[in-house]
Chain A
């Protein structure tokens, strides 16, 4: 096994993927805790489809996808979270509409331009080879910003997530923190999408938080353990995918599932 790991690490593509993947996994897991608790778990799925639509449009017109997809997905994220407060359209229906429309748009544009090729397949299911040099740099910057903001606003994010009314009453602008979560989630989704794929990225937002909430019952431990679980699953996943030549994104999701089941069983045993 050691030689396999050594061999794997000798590829610069994989080194890159490991670095970006670790950072993205960590960020996604941290944000995931808030999203799951706020019952916005679906938003990741919706945003990744929007990301897919925009990416295909960008590619069709010959642009680099990331710099266009990030701001566009941020806008959609804010709209979706705002709709959550609106009573006429429920946010889950809004997410469903936007999500399927984006996917349809993406597929339609692809059919009109390049046709369904491996590029599109990579967008859908992810590929560690998809990361270009500039993507890597952007991913690292974005991840560091997300981590910093999360640490800086940790206390307030807790207060706002746990009890919005109380947070407002003590003078916290809760809308601002909801927007912050939306923006950060959008950015992490778009950055992580290339590696994990449109269809799989949302699972690394949700799984680690759910897994650690099986066992842990205070906020700080849940946040920290989600981060650790997410990174661990990513490493195991990428290794297995390398050894058995399975799609990276899919392997990581399956490893996450195994850990989730394991934690659920452990919880039952402890009880």
Chain B
């Protein structure tokens, strides 16, 4: 089943300068898709279009169901007083957007997800005191609360040490296999990702340069 379908997408923040040019991309259920490319190639812009954060005028984007999004960490979060539990729970807001408080079923869902990601025991801990890897797990848990199908991650391992990176990728792989979650991830380090992803899409200057199964990916050169 096609979960995300991008057709002929052209996008720029101002009309004179298109960042994305005629992008065609289909994401199927169960895939672990990684989008790679240089800084400024348009990866994040594409993700923001898919999420509806950028208003698209040229081209079409169809998304099945809700996407669980994992944005990059912001400066504000460095000293924001928030417990793991509060953050993960906030992912359930779209399930009952009009409710004043979190419903029992939402709390239950958040609890199950926190247990799966080994966060439940430390749920009262403060977010900014966590390690980089733990922070990413919290954000993954929050995204999981918001979706059942698609997880979309924007460079989740930026600045983490190699051991933690492996841990995060393994976790994503596990979610991909066990929870049947479709994963779309932007990444810098292609070398490591190849082992986990099922498909690699390379973007260069706003165009898709390559779209191949991960097994066929060789760095730099053509396949």
A contact residues vs B (CB 8 Å cutoff): 37-39, 151-152, 154-156, 158-159, 161-166, 168-172, 213, 216-222
Contacts and interface: CB of A to CB of B under 8 A. Distances in A.
Given A169-B53, A169-B67, A170-B93, A162 B102 contact: no
A158 B81 contact: no
A213 B128 CA distance: 12
A170 B124 contact: no
B213 interface: no
A85 to B, nearest CB: 13
B192 interface: no
A159 B51 contact: no
Interface residues of B, number: 34
Contacts of B82: 158, 162, 218-219
B137 to A, nearest CB: 15
29 contacts: A37-B76, A37-B80, A152-B100, A155-B101, A155-B102, A156-B93, A158-B82, A158-B90, A161-B80, A162-B77, A162-B90, A164-B74, A165-B53, A165-B71, A166-B69, A166-B70, A166-B71, A166-B91, A166-B142, A166-B143, A168-B53, A169-B146, A170-B146, A172-B97, A217-B126, A217-B128, A218-B81, A218-B82, A218-B86
Interface in B84-139: 85-87, 90-91, 93-94, 97, 100-102, 124, 126, 128-129
Interface of B: 51-53, 66-67, 69-71, 74, 76-77, 79-83, 85-87, 90-91, 93-94, 97, 100-102, 124, 126, 128-129, 142-143, 146
A170 B67 CA distance: 8
Contacts, number: 85
A217 B81 contact: yes
Q: Provide the main secondary structure of the chain B interface.
A: mixed
Q: Provide the main secondary structure of the chain A interface.
A: helix
B93 A159 contact: yes
B218 to A, nearest CB: 34
Given A37-B76, A38-B76, A162-B80, A217 B129 contact: yes
A212 to B, nearest CB: 8
Contact of A39 (B53, B76, B146): B76
